[in-house]
Chains A and B, each alone.
Chain A
């Protein structure tokens, strides 16, 4: 049986370089119709009944490709999957027609409490099986490929028995789903936990990488906080270049969620990603 993982990017398209869709940028987007390959939306912002959010989304969908990215799937929680949330997610997908839907390899709460954070998991065989089972269930329900994103983290567990990239690899292989490889998160976690970020990039199943995230962060000395509030730093660009060399051209998304700059600043950041992609592709063709 041919699994999705036998095919580069799981057969999903390379959408080019996109940016996150954020409220401060709507005027620029609607007034100037800038050239943007695609936008990524946070699904939860549009799982509402009406009003300005949905009207804005409708306008963006008229002109641009949009991909859904969520923050509430809580694929690693010990609580049952939230059926109401999944139904709303699927309803949104019918409108957006995202080629894949992504969320984070994390937990966000326990029964009765939603912490609205992307919390890391212990890297154990039991958790691999738990998460993979749930990921298969989600993917089957949504009827669209699922991509799991590696989170940045500030703690590791005494119970962990493997590296994070071994954990991610085991889950996506067992679930037969994709990877949203966040190279900024790899860098942040490598700083916080003392591993080689290149080892992470080198050792994930490259054919399962369907999307890459890039973002800035805030270095607080003893740890880096994943704030998405700044330019991408050079070591992260280096990881991205390495990813392009190993994965090939892949849909790339620049995130900037706090202290959001003018739209042309964000687009300039996306252009840096495009330059790297093109350089890698030329080198490969040479």
Chain B
């Protein structure tokens, strides 16, 4: 009496996800023979192992596609170890390979296997490259017409809520991973920095192309406040409270230019008065 389909598939699914060759586990190899025929060239365990190797290759390649710069930072062996550890902790569950790295940021933040001298850089790179995955095929949202932005009366900025594009990803980084990734994609194989260099960046999509911009501390803080729903004037006042007089004056002078740029880049999608 053949085993129920559910049992056969459950057994094989488990075998395909083993990190080591099937033949290295004698009990597993023997159990393969209960379900799989083998032939004169390959044992049942060897036939099962073809699928096992393909499982790891396919998902390793998928992670590599999304994290080319992390591969550069870690090197092949450490990157492969990271991928394997990630897939063991977060095996693929959905039909879309796009979802494969949904948990990669939280995983990286506690992953003990990064070389100590590369840990901060690696975590920042995971965060940064994950932003590209999020932004790549997210839903389109039309940008706010610049004329509409300019038509908002000055008095309204005390209370008006600025709505940022849902695919605008902002982050503070300890390392210049944006420059490293750009160089990796450019094929120049950059040297890795030996010391941190804090930077704030925004990742966004415009006209189907993903871009990044470095942000000043003040611009980053302003965007964060706006994203929380704080109206513009109160947000600026809060930032100015922690700044010296010259920085506060610069903020007031810069914000108009920022808004023009942000609007042209599609970062602002609505103003709710």
- In angstroms, Cα B46 to Cα A77, docked, is 23
Contacts A51-B205, A51-B208, A107-B9 given; indicate if A194 touches B96 (C-beta within 8 A).
no
Q: What's the minimum C-beta distance from B135 to chain A, rounded to whole angstroms?
A: 8
Q: What's the minimum C-beta distance from A8 to chain B, rounded to whole angstroms?
A: 33
**Is B94 in contact with chain A by the CB < 8 A criterion?**
yes
Q: What's the minimum C-beta distance from A233 to chain B, rounded to whole angstroms?
A: 19
Q: Residues of B contacting A113 with CB < 8 Å? A: 13, 17, 91-93
Complex: chain B residue closest to A53, CB-CB: B137
Could you say which of B31-39, B146-154, B240-248 contacts chain A?
A: B31-39
The 0/1 profile, CB within 8 Å of B marked 1, for residues 125-154 of chain A is: 011001000000000000000000000001
What number of A residues sit within 8 Å (CB to CB) of B?
45
Within 8 A of B (CB), among A65-97: 72, 77-78, 82, 85
**Is B72 in contact with chain A by the CB < 8 A criterion?**
no
Q: How many A-B contacts are there with CB distance less than 8 Å?
A: 122
Which of B37, B92, B97, B137 is in CB contact (< 8 Å) with A158?
A: B37
**Is B55 in contact with chain A by the CB < 8 A criterion?**
yes
| In contact, A51 and B138 (Cβ under 8 angstroms) | yes
**Is A170 in contact with chain B by the CB < 8 A criterion?**
no
Contacts A158-B34, A222-B41 given; indicate if A112 touches B51 (C-beta within 8 A).
no
The 0/1 profile, CB within 8 Å of B marked 1, for residues 152-165 of chain A is: 00111111100000
Q: Residues of A contacting B138 with CB < 8 Å? A: 49-51
Q: What's the minimum C-beta distance from A171 to chain B, rounded to whole angstroms?
A: 14
**Is A63 in contact with chain B by the CB < 8 A criterion?**
no
Q: Residues of A contacting B92 with CB < 8 Å? A: 113-116
Which of A117, A158, A192 is in CB contact (< 8 Å) with B54?
A: A117
- In angstroms, Cα B89 to Cα A39, docked, is 38
Q: What's the minimum C-beta distance from B95 to chain A, rounded to whole angstroms?
A: 4
Which A residues lie at the B interface, using CB under 8 A?
A: 44, 47-55, 72, 77-78, 82, 85, 107-110, 112-117, 119, 121-122, 124, 126-127, 130, 154-160, 192-194, 222-223, 225
Which B residues lie at the A interface, using CB under 8 A?
A: 2-6, 8-10, 12-13, 16-17, 33-37, 39, 41-42, 44, 46-48, 50-51, 54-55, 58-59, 91-98, 135-140, 205, 208
